[in-house]
A and B are shown apart, each in its own frame.
Chain A
Amino acid sequence: MTPLGPREDWSVELKTLTNVMLGSLQPMLIVWGPSQTTFYNDGYAQMCGNRHPAAFGRPFRDLWHDIWDQVDSIISAAYAGHGTAMDDIEFTMHRKGYAEETHFAFSYTPVRDPWGTVLGMFCACTEITAQVAMARKERTQRERFMQVFELSPGGIAMLVGPDHVFDYANEEYYTLIGVGRDIIGKSVAEAVVEVVRQGFIGILDTVYRTGEPFIARSLPVELNRGPEGEKQRRLLDLVYQPMRDDIGQVTGILVQARDVTQLRADEERQAVLSHELGHRLKNQLAMVQAIASQTLRSSQDISTARRRLSERITVLSEAHDLILEGGRGVSSVRQLVAQMTALHDDLHNPRFRVSGPDLKIGSRPSLSLSLILHELATNALKHGSLSASSGRVDLSWRVAGEKRDRFEMVWVEKGGPSVSAPETRGSGTRLISAGLNGAADSLVEIEFDCSGVRCRIVGDLESFQKEH
């Protein structure tokens, strides 16, 4: 006895299909009669989860009640005489007591009697949930790789076949060769035509033929990458890597390219800068050497020489601090003067009257000017106006000349003892007379007047202010 009556009373169609179903290893299902009584084989039973065995011999709806809104239409279609076949239908099933995404490939076939009346539905199906999950995992993985390619700071392109046809290129690659160029599906020779005469097709051919990668650094390449497709020269770090199939045959080439034009330019600038630094250092050493030599040459004794040399080097060092603090070439005359007065003036009884514009001064003249001011002040304290309590120094500077193209500074001592030119020029006077280093037409005049020392320092303004 079965829900469809005694077996010997079954129709020939039902008997035949039941035999097929029970004999098959593929999951199969029969839904029969107006009550949609449901039978299935062992293969199908496995897909039913814990609905089996209760659902066996019951209406089809009892088996798939949780997905009935989807199943209803296709079973009704089958009963209406229309078969359905699908490669992949997705259901959220609760057959194991929890929600589960499932996928099936199946066909619903109406079964008719010889007069065409639909008796039931026959279904052969395969659960493909595992395969779908696998395919999805592979796709996710591929997408992740693609994302890595997309986000790579370098340009990446994949070429396939012996003609090097673009299969893929990331955004950076487009930036490199020129945004908006149409390359996918075209060969390199066709899509990036300007590289042909630069020999790149030959290199690609060699990589494809030999399977040996090509690696180059700072390779100059001309690319039509400008906004109007005009030619630009770039330096690339370039790698052509052969890609192989399962049996090791080269099937394509992975291109990795990095635009190092800016990087190389920066490195070059850095090298120039450190070269420049070395040059400055050597010039300053030469200057210190000259100062040391001049100091020793004219000093009476070694302890005086040591003190004077040490003072002079300190003055240079402080002037140098100003250059470094201000950045390139923005020391000002006022700052240099302030450094000198800080050392030689008396806070409670100011001896200097200082006036002049806040003129910018280049680093070479700034070292000379600081030294000249120091020597003038030292001399004034020793022999000049600052040696007397009432003595003063007027220090002023201005932009001079008809064309306003000269720097002029005047040092005038007043109220001190009468001075006269020394019989032999001391090292201080000699250092003063060396003038402003770096300023063209620099001239220093020093007069030993009975009213006091007068010194005038002039030079070309442009080179005085220029950073050398």
Chain B
Amino acid sequence: MAARSILVVEDDGLIRMDLVDTLLDGGFEVIDAANADQALALLEKHPMVGAILTDIDMPGSMNGLGLAKIASERWPDCRIIVISGRYNPNQGAMPEGSLFLSKPISVEGLAAALQEMRITPR
């Protein structure tokens, strides 16, 4: 797995599939997980992941905000974008420097967010 690849974490299979397709179209390398626990296991295996795109509400031992917190502590260089249909988490709930996107996400909205976070294909 090359550096600067993106990890997509989303429990809804359809939305995950479409996010992955959109990122692949953008020239990124993508791996995906259906929940935070799977995502952490993937991060252990692929420490060169450059960015995480994660949903908040997911089954498992922690939600997307928990994943974002742990990831930001252990892989401080990893960029984090949080996505949810539920709420705009206040600043305290999200790691510093991370970005929030509200569902549903447009292709342009996603592209703008990636650009803002300086996440580019290698």
| A431 x B12 contact (CB < 8 A) | no
| B15 x A286 contact (CB < 8 A) | yes
Number of B interface residues in the complex (CB < 8 A):
18
In the complex, how many angstroms separate the beta carbon of B27 from the nearest chain A beta carbon? 16
For residue B21, CB closer than 8 A to chain A, the reply is: yes
| A291 x B13 contact (CB < 8 A) | no
A282 to B105, CA, bound (A): 10
| A279 x B85 contact (CB < 8 A) | yes
Query: Could you tell me which residues of chain B, from 3 to 24, have a CB within 8 Å of some CB in chain A?
Result: 11-18, 21-22
| B85 x A291 contact (CB < 8 A) | no
Q: Chain B residues near A430 (CB, 8 Å)?
A: 17
Residue in B14, B59, B85 whose CB lies within 8 Å of A431 = B14
Chain B positions 14 through 58: 1 when the CB is less than 8 Å from some CB of chain A, otherwise 0 = 111110011000000000000000000000000000000000000
For residue A331, CB closer than 8 A to chain B, the reply is: no
For residue B97, CB closer than 8 A to chain A, the reply is: no
A297 to B103, CA, bound (A): 20
Segment with Cβ contacts to B, from A102-110, A136-144, A155-163, A435-443:
A435-443
For residue A366, CB closer than 8 A to chain B, the reply is: no
Q: Chain B residues near A304 (CB, 8 Å)?
A: none
| B18 x A294 contact (CB < 8 A) | yes
| B13 x A368 contact (CB < 8 A) | yes
In the complex, how many angstroms separate the beta carbon of A297 from the nearest chain B beta carbon? 7
- When C-beta atoms are compared, the residue in chain A nearest to B12 turns out to be A437
Query: Could you tell me which residues of chain A, from 263 to 319, have a CB within 8 Å of some CB in chain B?
Result: 275, 278-283, 285-291, 293-294, 297
| B17 x A282 contact (CB < 8 A) | no
Q: Chain B residues near A435 (CB, 8 Å)?
A: 13
Asked, given contacts A294-B14, A434-B14, whether A286 binds B104 with beta carbons under 8 Å apart, the answer is yes
In the complex, how many angstroms separate the beta carbon of B113 from the nearest chain A beta carbon? 15
Residue in A279, A286, A433 whose CB lies within 8 Å of B12 = A286
For residue B102, CB closer than 8 A to chain A, the reply is: yes
In the complex, how many angstroms separate the beta carbon of B88 from the nearest chain A beta carbon? 12
- When C-beta atoms are compared, the residue in chain B nearest to A439 turns out to be B59
Q: Chain A residues near B105 (CB, 8 Å)?
A: 286, 289
For residue A41, CB closer than 8 A to chain B, the reply is: no
Number of A interface residues in the complex (CB < 8 A):
30
Asked, given contacts A294-B14, A294-B17, whether A289 binds B104 with beta carbons under 8 Å apart, the answer is yes
For residue A463, CB closer than 8 A to chain B, the reply is: yes
Q: Chain B residues near A291 (CB, 8 Å)?
A: 14
| B102 x A287 contact (CB < 8 A) | no
- When C-beta atoms are compared, the residue in chain A nearest to B104 turns out to be A286
A363 to B14, CA, bound (A): 15
In the complex, how many angstroms separate the beta carbon of B68 from the nearest chain A beta carbon? 19
| A287 x B14 contact (CB < 8 A) | yes
For residue B122, CB closer than 8 A to chain A, the reply is: no
Q: Chain A residues near B104 (CB, 8 Å)?
A: 282, 285-286, 288-289
Residue in B13, B18, B87 whose CB lies within 8 Å of A437 = B13
A285 to B104, CA, bound (A): 6
- When C-beta atoms are compared, the residue in chain A nearest to B35 turns out to be A440
In the complex, how many angstroms separate the beta carbon of B54 from the nearest chain A beta carbon? 14
| B12 x A287 contact (CB < 8 A) | yes
A287 to B17, CA, bound (A): 11
| B18 x A283 contact (CB < 8 A) | no
| A297 x B21 contact (CB < 8 A) | yes
For residue B118, CB closer than 8 A to chain A, the reply is: no
A288 to B18, CA, bound (A): 11
| A283 x B13 contact (CB < 8 A) | no
Q: Chain B residues near A433 (CB, 8 Å)?
A: 13, 17
Residue in A285, A368, A434, A436 whose CB lies within 8 Å of B103 = A285
Asked, given contacts A282-B102, A283-B103, whether A290 binds B85 with beta carbons under 8 Å apart, the answer is no
Q: Chain B residues near A437 (CB, 8 Å)?
A: 11-14
In the complex, how many angstroms separate the beta carbon of B43 from the nearest chain A beta carbon? 20
A278 to B104, CA, bound (A): 12
Query: Could you tell me which residues of chain A, from 392 to 434, have a CB within 8 Å of some CB in chain B?
Result: 430-431, 433-434
Residue in A282, A293, A431, A436 whose CB lies within 8 Å of B21 = A293
In the complex, how many angstroms separate the beta carbon of B82 from the nearest chain A beta carbon? 14
A213 to B56, CA, bound (A): 48
- When C-beta atoms are compared, the residue in chain B nearest to A297 turns out to be B21
Q: Chain B residues near A368 (CB, 8 Å)?
A: 13-14
Q: Chain A residues near B87 (CB, 8 Å)?
A: 275, 279
8 contacts between A and B (CB under 8 A): A282-B85, A282-B103, A286-B104, A290-B12, A294-B17, A433-B17, A437-B12, A463-B59
- 6 closest Cβ contacts across the A-B interface? A282-B85, A434-B13, A290-B18, A286-B104, A290-B14, A286-B103
By a beta-carbon cutoff of 8 Å, the part of chain A in contact with chain B is 275, 278-283, 285-291, 293-294, 297, 364, 368, 430-431, 433-438, 440, 442, 463
Beyond the given pairs A281-B85, A368-B14, 9 more chain A to chain B contacts, judged by CB atoms under 8 angstroms and listed by A's residue number, are A282-B103, A285-B104, A286-B104, A289-B15, A294-B17, A430-B17, A433-B17, A434-B14, A437-B11
